[in-house]
């Protein structure tokens, strides 16, 4: 007689489960809540601060409902006092789950902003002869559908003319 062992069934019954909630659950079980809150603000910081403020201040820590910003020097610290209300509004709008109610600023070292690499340059333009080569003609003749053959031939002619105008 075979050994009957109860097989534990998965809650999702074999159906696909979105990974987002699973990831959120795993991260929140490992990372302390304050660290997770400040990380969310740091990830949104380029959008919140913009390029000019991003170079001079950085969200360093959150304790209770106070976000501590590290500012590069006293002059910027003084300037940020005037921008504090607007900055706080943008933080609350962009990252409401951070639950920031107040800002504290201190002078310190600000990490350099992360600069996105530029898009790679387009591939070099190759020239196509006005007349297609033997292999192109053979490939066009191998197409059984006459409409598809005509579309491919038209595309080949258009590419040849476009490239000629670019060169």
Task: Categorize the per-residue pLDDT at 158 as very low, low, confident or very high, splitting at 50, 70 and 90.
Answer: confident
For 90: left if phi > 0, alpha if psi spans -120 to 50, otherwise beta; the answer is: alpha
Task: Categorize the per-residue pLDDT at 72 as very low, low, confident or very high, splitting at 50, 70 and 90.
Answer: very high
Question: Coil, helix or strand for 124?
Answer: coil
In CATH, what number does 29-107 get? 3.30.300
Contact status, residue 48 vs residue 80, Cβ threshold 8 Å: no
State the pTM of this model. Answer: 0.58
Nearest to 141 by CA among 152, 155, 156: 152
Among 14-28, 103-117, 143-157, whose mean pLDDT is lowest? Answer: 14-28
Nearest to 80 by CA among 67, 93, 95, 92: 67
Average pLDDT over every residue of 103-114: 90
153 pLDDT above the threshold of 80: yes
167 pLDDT above the threshold of 50: no
95 pLDDT above the threshold of 90: yes
Task: Categorize the per-residue pLDDT at 84 as very low, low, confident or very high, splitting at 50, 70 and 90.
Answer: very high
In whole angstroms, give the CA distance from residue 139 to residue 155.
13
In whole angstroms, give the CA distance from residue 35 to residue 46.
18
């Amino acid at each position: 007689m075979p050994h009957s062992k109860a097989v534990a069934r998965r809650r999702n019954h074999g159906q696909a489960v979105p990974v987002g909630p699973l990831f959120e659950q795993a991260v929140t079980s490992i990372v302390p809540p304050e660290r997770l809150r400040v990380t969310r603000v740091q990830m949104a910081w380029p959008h919140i601060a913009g390029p000019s403020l991003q170079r001079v201040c950085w969200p360093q820590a959150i304790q209770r409902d106070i976000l501590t910003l590290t500012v590069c020097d006293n002059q910027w610290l003084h300037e940020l006092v005037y921008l504090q209300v607007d900055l706080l509004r943008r933080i609350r709008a962009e990252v409401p789950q951070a639950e920031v109610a107040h800002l504290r600023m201190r002078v310190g070292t600000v990490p350099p902003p992360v600069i996105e690499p530029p898009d790679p340059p387009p591939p070099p333009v190759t020239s196509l002869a006005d007349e297609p080569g033997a292999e192109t003609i053979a490939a066009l003749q191998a197409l059984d559908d006459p409409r598809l053959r005509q579309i491919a031939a038209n595309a080949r002619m258009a590419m040849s003319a476009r490239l000629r105008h670019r060169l």
